[in-house]
Amino acid sequence: MAKPYDPKDFYYRKAKAEGLRARSAFKIDEIVKRHRLLAPGQAVLDLGAAPGGFLQVLADAVGEKGVAIGVDLEPIRNLGKRWVKTAVVDLLAPDALDRIRALHPGLFDLVASDMAPKTIGVKVTDEARSLELCRMALGIARETLRPGGAFVTKVFMGGDFQVFKGEVAALFDDVHIARPQATRESSYEVYLLGRGFRAP
Q: Which of 8, 14, 118, 154 is catalytic?
A: 154
Long-range Cβ contact pairs of 49-52 (< 8 A, separation 24 or more):
49/76, 49/86, 49/114, 50/74, 50/75, 50/76, 51/21, 51/22, 51/76, 51/77, 52/21, 52/22, 52/76, 52/77, 52/79, 52/86
**46 is annotated as contributing to ligand binding:** no
Q: What is the pLDDT of residue 159?
A: 76
**95 is annotated as contributing to ligand binding:** no
Beta bridge partners of 115: none
**60 is annotated as contributing to ligand binding:** no
Q: What is the pLDDT of residue 110?
A: 98
Q: What is the pLDDT of residue 26?
A: 77
Q: What is the pLDDT of residue 185?
A: 66
**29 is annotated as contributing to ligand binding:** no
Is 27 a catalytic site residue? Answer: no
Rounded average pLDDT per 10-residue block, the chain, 200 residues: 49 55 75 94 96 91 97 93 96 95 97 79 72 94 98 88 95 93 68 93
Domains of the chain: 10-197 (3.40.50.150)
Q: What is the pTM of this model?
A: 0.86
